[in-house]
Structure 1
Amino acid sequence: MKTTLIIDCDPGVDDATGLLMAFAASNIDLLAITTVGGNVPAERTARNACILRQIAEREDVPVFAGAARPLVREPAGAGEFHGEEGLGDMAPFVPAKGAEDEHAVDAIIRLVMSRPNGTVDLVAMGPMTNLALALRREPLLAERLKQVVAMGGARSEGGNITASAEFNIWADPDAAHEVMQSPVPVVMIGLDATHQVRATEERIRTIEAIGNASSKAVAGMLRFSQRVERTIVGWDAAPLHDPCTVAYVMAPELFRLRPAEIRIEAQSDLTRGHTAVEMRGDVLEARHLWAVKADAEGIFDLIGETLANAGVKA
């Protein structure tokens, strides 16, 4: 049975890997890609999504551009980890097909509300600005969505922007706070899990050897990330963040989750974007799930198996 999915993202080299996986996945009915300003400015994230769609030969999937800035904060990018254009070493080009005229927030509401309750998943790979705005405009969206699977946050691993904050949450903590306070069920895959999933040289070579356009693009993104991580952070193999959301949608058995109550710090500058993940006490009925373990070998096997089908028409 296929998962009906919307991906909200800010490509971004790791977003690119997640998107190319989703474009190639036989068990995903991809309704749309919506984009938001985050890793790079909004006009680039929308363009990048269209470029990746063209590489995957999936022009049937519409792209909708969304929020250019956080709810109340100034935009903050992460170009040092994604390249100035957001595509690592890949030279951007003008895609044959651009984004649709409809705003991402309107598209999310329309696509979800036109379908039966509990039939659409939404993957959030970037700041949650679009989703927060959609929930403001149509509160019933929280009941209509099956779940939100978000890459964001940190607990035991600490942050990658500040001592306790991960970038996607830190970039728009107010939006993340509104989403986590809403009734929508959220699976959050943060650094505690994604730091377990490392793009080693052997894994990159295996993906590269598949030999199609999508696998070559993914291998290029992973090599860029590997070089950046070695230079800036000092790690030999870069962690794979955003694609873990798509991997979870495709194969949830690759992750171990714990029920939690997750709250977002949006007041203090010192702890801006901190994810307070409460797993003690009576949280078994909590609507949030926090990823504590990821099967790295299984995830990279899934990436390879999925990309091997890229460009193959059913």
Structure 2
Amino acid sequence: MSVLASNLPDLSSSVSPSLMFQQPFRDSQQVPMRAQISVYGALIQGTAPEEAFGGSDGAKSIWENALRSSAERLHAEPKKIIIDTDPGIDDAMAIFLALRSPEVEVIGLTTIYGNVYTTLATRNALHLLEVAGRTDIPVAEGSHVTVTFHLSIVSAFAWKEVWFDSLWLLFSKDNLVLMDMVSTHGAASFMILREKGTKLRIADFVHGADGLGNQNFDPPKGKPIEQSAAAFLVEQAKLHPGKVTVVALGPLTNIALAIELDPEFCKNIRQIVLLGGAFSVNGNVNPASEANIFGDPEAADIVFTCGADILAVGINVTHQVVLTDAERNKLIQSNGKFAQYLCKILEVYFSYHQEVYSMGGVYLHDPTALLAAVNPSLLTYTEGAVRVQTTGITRGLTLLYNNQKRFGEVTEWTDKPTIKVAVTVDAPTVVKLLMERLMES
């Protein structure tokens, strides 16, 4: 697939996001916020619902639906979520936020490289759960390499019957090297497979060498479970068909491997809410690519085209949500356990944003994506097929086909399943929810 990235509008452009895409919509099951506010106001003030809405039958119907929806949410069981994470300072914020959100039940963490290497991501995930007092939540360690590497190994040996006498993965600075003793039809041979394009991009310059603000916390007492992240995802989706939402905060390798492992995974899962992409704006790795998609473009393309219910939250949205210095000071003054912990690790993150973006605050990437899973109505969305560029200078570019034009020939987007892509966000409410929940004692 060859795609040119040109004339990408700047995020600060005055062009309305709703004009960049099709008309955005809110989650079909959510009632408009104004309607809910009017309903609650009417109930509090003792006003009849039809009067609160101007007396029309249609307004009365809106009131009834809003009341029913509110009652259902009040009594609904929490949404089961698995957070696929590469902690990461803003990952820590998102994990704590999830644990403080009664709307969701965190049933597991899976780890992936991104902000740090996978081994350190696992250590940090276990550490954060200890801080939260939630060591009952299992942590499954994820892939140490991109999906390209896994699939290349499979295709390399698919044409002959082989079995492995021994297998080592050696990590060098520039490449991942697979060395194995292979027996083929009784004749032993030694093979070295060198796979290009699998060098990992690690963002420790953003989050600190330890991923948590260079605080060098003591090692956690807990251990990850024996299952791989992909196997854990597949198992949980089977145990709770249609009920598990995966919140993916890093590169999408683990999700792609789960899809490859079980063809029914996309049917069994409730939804995948992912942080990734730079829709209509420049990337944050280079002008074309956002970090999570750039981390494993092949995996991202597998996920975007798998047919699952997917909600993508890109940096075109998360760059609208900022935690300011003033709000950080409120966290410092708070007695909340999570707020106090985050204040220890935030300095590195603030310094990075000051140096790179010249701003007195930080972007709330991961918390925004997490809250999209908690309450989708905080954002608006467009819908279309998304493909990912996997080669060339635009590697990692995400391109949405919004179905506004019917092309005369078959394209790489033809007949691909559509996903929801976030367009706008209620940024003040996202920040307010984050602050309130993290400042709870």
Which structure's CA Rg is the greater one? 2
Deviation at 1:173, TM superposition (A): 0.4
Match of 1:296 among 427, 435, 438: 427
Distance in 1, matches of 2:266 and 2:217, equals 36
- Matched residue of 1:164: which SS? coil
Alignment of 1:92 with 2:217, yes or no, is yes
Query: What is the aligned partner in structure 2 of residue 47 from structure 1?
Result: 123
Query: What is the aligned partner in structure 1 of residue 300 from structure 2?
Result: 176
Contact 1:151 1:190 in 2 (8 A): yes
Distance in 1, matches of 2:405 and 2:335, equals 50
Match of 1:244 among 347, 359, 368: 368
Shift of the 282–223 alpha-carbon distance from structure 1 to 2, 3 Å rule, reads: farther
Distance in 1, matches of 2:118 and 2:417, equals 33
Match of 1:160 among 278, 284, 287: 284
Contact 2:349 2:362 in 1 (8 A): yes
The structure 1 segments of at least 4 consecutive aligned residues displaced by more than 6 Å after TM superposition are: none
Distance in 1, matches of 2:385 and 2:217, equals 40
Deviation at 1:179, TM superposition (A): 0.6
Alignment of 1:147 with 2:271, yes or no, is yes
Distance in 2, matches of 1:216 and 1:287, equals 41
Query: What is the aligned partner in structure 2 of residue 262 from structure 1?
Result: 386
* Residues 220-235 of structure 1 aligned to structure 2 (within 5 Å): 220-235=344-359
Alignment of 1:112 with 2:188, yes or no, is no
Contact 1:184 1:287 in 2 (8 A): no
Contact 2:82 2:106 in 1 (8 A): yes
Deviation at 1:66, TM superposition (A): 0.9
- Matched residue of 1:156: which SS? coil
Alignment of 1:216 with 2:347, yes or no, is no
- Matched residue of 2:147: which SS? coil
Shift of the 143–101 alpha-carbon distance from structure 1 to 2, 3 Å rule, reads: same
| Bigger mean CA deviation after superposition, 23-32 or 129-138 | 23-32
Distance in 2, matches of 1:90 and 1:146, equals 37
Q: Is there any run of 5+ residues in structure 1 with no aligned partner, and where?
A: none
- Matched residue of 2:247: which SS? strand
Query: What is the aligned partner in structure 2 of residue 307 from structure 1?
Result: 438
Give the AA of the match of 1:49. A
Q: Paired residues, what number?
A: 307
Query: What is the aligned partner in structure 1 of residue 400 from structure 2?
Result: 277
Query: What is the aligned partner in structure 1 of residue 317 from structure 2?
Result: 193
- Superposed CA deviations along residues 148-194 of structure 1, whole A, max 9, x for unmatched, are 00000002221000111000000100100111111111100001000
- Superposed CA deviations along residues 261-286 of structure 1, whole A, max 9, x for unmatched, are 211111x2201100002224179x96
Contact 2:80 2:244 in 1 (8 A): yes
Contact 1:25 1:309 in 2 (8 A): no
- After superposition, the CA RMSD in angstroms is 1.8
| Bigger mean CA deviation after superposition, 274-283 or 198-207 | 274-283
Distance in 1, matches of 2:273 and 2:343, equals 24
Deviation at 1:21, TM superposition (A): 0.9
What TM-score results when the alignment is normalised by the length of structure 2?
0.67
Distance in 1, matches of 2:432 and 2:298, equals 36
- Superposed CA deviations along residues 187-220 of structure 1, whole A, max 9, x for unmatched, are 0000100000011012222333332321122334
Query: What is the aligned partner in structure 2 of residue 6 from structure 1?
Result: 82
- Matched residue of 1:302: which SS? helix
Alignment of 1:60 with 2:136, yes or no, is yes
Deviation at 1:309, TM superposition (A): 4.3
Query: What is the aligned partner in structure 2 of residue 69 from structure 1?
Result: 145
Percentage of pairs with the same residue: 28
Query: What is the aligned partner in structure 2 of residue 125 from structure 1?
Result: 249
Give the AA of the match of 2:393. L
Deviation at 1:221, TM superposition (A): 3.8
Q: Is there any run of 5+ residues in structure 2 with no aligned partner, and where?
A: 1-75, 149-197, 407-415
Deviation at 1:260, TM superposition (A): 2.2
- Matched residue of 1:242: which SS? helix
Distance in 2, matches of 1:221 and 1:26, equals 25
- Matched residue of 2:422: which SS? strand
What TM-score results when the alignment is normalised by the length of structure 1?
0.93
Match of 2:109 among 27, 33, 37: 33
Distance in 1, matches of 2:287 and 2:262, equals 35
- Matched residue of 1:76: which SS? coil
Deviation at 1:63, TM superposition (A): 0.7
